[in-house]
Amino acid sequence: MRYQLKQIYCRPWTLSGLSLPLIESHYENNYGGALRRLNAITEQLESLDFANTPGYVINGLKREELVALNSTLLHELYFASLGGDGRVTNAMSEALARDFGSVQCWRTEFSAMGYALGGGSGWVLLCWMPRDGRLINQYAAEHSQAVAGGIPMLALDVYEHAYHIDFGANVKAYVDTFLRNIDWQAVEGRYEDAIKVAPPRPLVQEEFGNLPGVGVEEVRAMLAEGKPLQLIDTRPMHFVSRQKDIAEGVTWRDPERVQEWMGELSKSDPVVVYCAYGFHVGCRTAIALREAGFDARYMKVGHSGWKAAGGPIRMQA
């Protein structure tokens, strides 16, 4: 395939404090250069005999493809970020305040990241993270760094080619000028599109229907608040004898014998059971307890999740 050159998105003569020679040089040499490299690399890759090419050649070409592709995409976003009056729209003010505290807090962080790249080079990106449903400012010291799953919607180019014609080494003046030229209407449009992207799909354990599960964070918060909670480790016997460690303050009960030990539990306080990783053993134990009238749930992440979350453990003899 051949990547097509995109028109410069902003109208360069409307920018304040960024000269035509700077923008033209940036678009023609750096954006255009990235796109031309990308097409040349793509052509090489298309004719490459992958089965008989040494790994280091494949690695090199695929790395350069990633660098050129991301440089192309980020430059398109950079030019599309400019052309406004720098006044944050109402919708974006609310979104920035929600995730950074205030527009000023966002601006201070974003600018400081831009200043900090002066003397080096890289990108500062405002990205939407579908996983967490929030905005984040991302640092990238080269074209090929991007937050996995992040959706950039505003790009500040801090390679010297983006400012030295107008600003010399004065990166601070450049970053401040960039901020005055942001087209927030366009950012808002991209934000509206980005938040429609669904977060990564959660794990569905279809065989257990709507069995209520609980996260490790919630369990630890309940314990920390001293809420009555009967937390029981129900890993299969062979896991417990192999792993040796157990959550601090928790007792182990054999899931095979749930009918025998459930009589020790109180029906008035909630019960949370868990197995090794949060799959069928914990679910089945929770179901057995619910059928017997207990307010039981399973901890979704299991014993491994307890440890991954930094939960305290002790070693068993």
Token pair 């090794």 in the structure block, residue: 276
Nearer to Fe ion among residue 146 and residue 283 (C-beta): 146
Minimum CB distance to Fe ion, residue 168 (Å): 17
Nearer to Fe ion among residue 115 and residue 252 (C-beta): 115
Nearer to Fe ion among residue 81 and residue 285 (C-beta): 81
Q: How far is CA 126 from CA 44, 45, 192, in A?
A: 33, 32, 14
Residue 231, SS3? strand
Nearer to Fe ion among residue 170 and residue 243 (C-beta): 170
Minimum CB distance to Fe ion, residue 108 (Å): 24
Which of 183-198 are b and which e, b meaning 16 or more Cβ less than 10 Å from the residue's Cβ? bbebbbebbeebeeee
CA neighbor of 69 nearest in space, from 36, 45, 47, 46: 36
Minimum CB distance to Fe ion, residue 128 (Å): 22
Instruction: Check: CB of residue 299 under 8 Å from CB of residue 277.
Output: no
Nearer to Fe ion among residue 143 and residue 235 (C-beta): 143
CA neighbor of 95 nearest in space, from 123, 129, 68: 129
Minimum CB distance to Fe ion, residue 42 (Å): 20
- Give residues in contact with Fe ion (CB under 5 A): 30, 157, 159, 162
* HSE of 161, CA atoms in CB hemisphere, 13 A: 14
Minimum CB distance to Fe ion, residue 152 (Å): 14
